[in-house]
């Protein structure tokens, strides 16, 4: 982790060996590490640490279980191309048990699992793909005579980390859709403890790989939210970074498939897009490493909310999403905003000057009037009986 410059790694022997092993050029390998680091949202320098780790560290042992699922998660991993994932999972990690990818079968395969577990006790990573049926003692899914529940518990007991890949393993996914005849459940409730979940149907392979590489580099899985989802991938709503967001804000919506708005690429919210209630990073890293900048919303189909429990496979596709606003927009005007201008220094000074002058003048006038009145009263008292004196100007100088 000391080396923080990717460029310095160009001539590193370990890096050269790792890239050769992965069938990539050195430059491609370093780019892959940089992409991974960016997906994780890690600071500059982490990509170099990752490259070093991938190149030098012992490949972590991975045990991959399949239960109620379609193997879509594995398929999507296999179709990742930067680098081709079959190379990566064989060379970056030591995939010691994977029912789909295994050449071995039957007891041979089960033995491999047991061997790997014993050899890497407390150090291997357990990945679960697919939901776990819980009804009737879990009899609806058995591998090698053991129920999914038993297998999960057995493998999880000595695992360094448990990752639930795909929505099925994360929260039940499609098999758990009402009426859920098998009692399909996610991994966490079965184990009775939280696990890292990578929901999605299928999930983006980079979210999974980034989590694994993070484990490889830093010895721990990335920070997760209350549902066990890595925050680097699932802390933002699809709606928040959606490329069609500007249309939503401007009130431009596709009203039906194929209409003018749809053809112009307007917001799909009114067609039932679940982006506003679905946490995933699809708009930023797109979907399934399919290439060509494609992802469902980019292709004109509303997001179905596959990562989100209670949304994907639960709400009809046409049903309008319930907006989740995590943070109320603080830039909005309050109900009461301070408006208008109060007293300024200049205005107050002018007013004070006028008030002072008026008060002063008023006082002088009142005093003069009072004085002359008193003088008159005195005069009248003294000169009682005499003719009144001709009117004189009795007021003192005041005013004009």
Partner 1 sequence: MRADENPRRNFLKGCVAAGGVAAASAVAPPVAARETRQRPPEALGLLFDATLCVGCKACVAACKQANENPAEFSTVDPLWDTPLDTSARTYNLIKMYRHGTMETKDAETNGYAFMKTSCMHCADPSCVSACPVSAMTKDAATGIVEYNPEACIGCRYCVAACPFGIPKYQYDSAYGKIGKCELCRHRTKDGHYSACAEVCPTGATLYGKTADLLAEAKRRLALKPGSIARFPRGNLSGGPDQSYEAYAGTYKQHVYGDTEYGGTQVLKLSAVDFEKVGMPYLPPEAAAAHSETLQHTLYGGLAMPVVVLGALTWAARRNVHRGGDSNGDGGSKEGEK
Partner 2 sequence: MAHSQHLAAPVGGRLLNNATLVAGVLIAIMAAVLLARFIFGLGAVTHLNDGYPFGIWIVVDVVIGSAFACGGFSVAMLVYIFNRGEYHPLVRPALLASLFGYTLAGISVIIDLGRYVNFWHIYWPGYANINSVMFEVAVCITAYVAVMWIEFAPVFLEKFGLHDIRKKLDKALFVVVALGTLLPMMHQSSIGTLLVVMGTQVNPLWQTQMLPLIYLLTAISMGYGVVLFESCVAASGYRRKIETHLLDPMAKVMLGVLAAYLVVRFGDLLVRGALGEAFKPTFVALSFWVENFCFAAPFLLIGNAAARRNPAKLFLAGVAIMFGGVFLRLNGFLIGYDTGPGWNYFPSAPELLVTIGMFSIEVLGYIVITRTFPVLPREEAYIKAHA
Closest distance of CB 269 from partner 1, Å: 5
Nearer to partner 1, 252 or 301 (CB): 252
> Judged by CB under 8 A, does residue 266 bind partner 1?
no
The CA distance from 252 to 265, in Å, is 9
Nearer to partner 1, 48 or 268 (CB): 268
Nearer to partner 1, 325 or 383 (CB): 325
Helix (H) or strand (E) holding 66: strand 61-66
Nearer to partner 1, 145 or 331 (CB): 331
Return the residues of window 306-325 that contact partner 1 according to CB under 8 A.
Answer: 319-320, 322-323, 325
Nearer to partner 1, 66 or 244 (CB): 244
Q: Choose among partner 1, partner 2, none what residue 157 binds, the Cβ cut-off being 5 to 8 Å by kind.
A: none
Question: Which residues are within 8 A (CB) of 87 and not within 5 positions of it... i.e. 6 or more apart?
Answer: 22, 23
Q: Choose among partner 1, partner 2, none what residue 270 binds, the Cβ cut-off being 5 to 8 Å by kind.
A: partner 1
> Judged by CB under 8 A, does residue 329 bind partner 1?
yes
Q: Choose among partner 1, partner 2, none what residue 373 binds, the Cβ cut-off being 5 to 8 Å by kind.
A: partner 2
CB 280 within 8 A of CB 287: no
Q: Choose among partner 2, partner 1, none what residue 103 binds, the Cβ cut-off being 5 to 8 Å by kind.
A: none
* Binding interface with partner 2 (CB under 8 A): 336-344, 346-351, 354, 362, 365-370, 372-373, 388, 390-395, 397-400
Q: Choose among partner 2, partner 1, none what residue 366 binds, the Cβ cut-off being 5 to 8 Å by kind.
A: partner 2
DSSP secondary structure letter of residue 270: G
* Given 58, 339, 386, 397, the residue binding partner 1 (CB under 8 A): 339
Chain-centroid distance of CA 286 in Å reads: 14
Closest CA to 267 of 283, 280, 279, 281: 283
Q: Which residue has the tokens 């050769």?
A: 20
Question: Which residues are within 8 A (CB) of 183 and not within 5 positions of it... i.e. 6 or more apart?
Answer: 133, 134, 135, 136
Closest distance of CB 384 from partner 2, Å: 14
**Which residues are paired to 61 by β-bridges?**
94
Closest distance of CB 388 from partner 2, Å: 6
Report CA-CA distances (Å) from 340 to 337, 347, 349, 351, 352. 10, 14, 19, 19, 21
Nearer to partner 2, 326 or 330 (CB): 330
Chain-centroid distance of CA 49 in Å reads: 24
> Judged by CB under 8 A, does residue 347 bind partner 1?
no
Tokens of residue 230, six digits: 């890595």
**SS3 category, 13:** helix
Closest distance of CB 325 from partner 1, Å: 6
Q: Choose among partner 2, partner 1, none what residue 370 binds, the Cβ cut-off being 5 to 8 Å by kind.
A: partner 2
* Given 13, 178, 249, 382, the residue binding partner 1 (CB under 8 A): 249
Chain-centroid distance of CA 366 in Å reads: 76
Closest distance of CB 398 from partner 2, Å: 5
Q: Count the residues of the shown chain that bind partner 1, applying the rule CB under 8 A.
A: 26
Report CA-CA distances (Å) from 174 to 61, 134, 239, 267, 379. 29, 15, 23, 26, 113
Q: Choose among partner 2, partner 1, none what residue 365 binds, the Cβ cut-off being 5 to 8 Å by kind.
A: partner 2
The CA distance from 142 to 138, in Å, is 8
The CA distance from 84 to 24, in Å, is 9
Chain-centroid distance of CA 104 in Å reads: 40
The CA distance from 38 to 23, in Å, is 22
Q: Which residue has the tokens 């002072």?
A: 356
The contact set with partner 1 (CB under 8 A) reads 248-253, 255, 267, 269-270, 276, 319-320, 322-323, 325, 328-329, 331-337, 339
């Amino acid at each position: 982790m000391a080396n923080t410059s990717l460029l310095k790694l160009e001539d590193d022997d370990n890096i050269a060996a790792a890239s050769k092993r992965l069938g990539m050029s050195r430059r491609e390998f370093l780019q892959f590490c940089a992409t991974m680091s960016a997906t994780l949202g890690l600071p500059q320098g982490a990509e170099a640490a990752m490259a070093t780790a991938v190149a030098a560290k012992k490949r972590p042992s991975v045990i991959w279980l399949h239960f109620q699922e379609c193997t879509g998660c594995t398929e999507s991993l296999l179709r990742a191309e930067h680098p081709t994932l079959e190379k990566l999972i064989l060379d970056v990690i030591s995939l010691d048990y994977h029912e789909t990818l295994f050449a071995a079968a039957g007891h041979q395969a089960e033995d491999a699992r047991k061997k790997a577990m014993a050899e890497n006790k407390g150090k291997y990573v357990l990945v679960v793909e697919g939901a776990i049926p819980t009804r009737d003692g879990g009899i609806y899914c058995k591998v090698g005579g053991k129920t999914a529940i038993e297998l999960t518990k057995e493998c999880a007991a000595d695992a360094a980390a448990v990752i639930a890949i795909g929505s099925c393993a994360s929260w039940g996914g499609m098999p758990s859709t009402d009426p859920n005849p098998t009692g399909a459940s996610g991994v966490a409730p079965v184990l009775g403890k939280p696990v890292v979940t990578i929901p999605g149907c299928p999930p983006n392979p980079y979210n999974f790989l980034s989590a694994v590489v993070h484990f490889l580099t830093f010895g721990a899985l990335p920070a997760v939210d209350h549902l066990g989802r890595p925050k680097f991938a699932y802390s933002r709503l699809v709606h928040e970074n959606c490329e069609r967001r500007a249309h939503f804000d401007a009130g431009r919506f596709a009203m039906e498939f194929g209409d003018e708005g749809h053809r112009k690429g307007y917001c799909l919210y009114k067609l039932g897009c679940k982006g506003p209630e679905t946490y995933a990073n699809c708009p930023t890293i797109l979907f399934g490493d399919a290439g060509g900048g494609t992802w469902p919303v980019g292709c004109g189909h509303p997001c179905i909310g596959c990562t989100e429990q209670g949304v994907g496979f639960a709400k009809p596709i046409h049903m309008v999403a319930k907006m989740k606003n995590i943070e109320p927009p603080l830039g909005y005007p309050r109900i009461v905003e301070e408006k208008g201008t109060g007293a300024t220094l200049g205005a107050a000074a002018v007013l004070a000057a006028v008030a002072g002058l008026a008060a002063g003048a008023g006082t002088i006038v009142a005093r003069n009037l009072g004085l002359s009145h008193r003088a008159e009263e005195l005069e009248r008292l003294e000169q009682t009986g005499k003719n009144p004196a001709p009117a004189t100007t009795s007021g003192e100088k005041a005013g004009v």
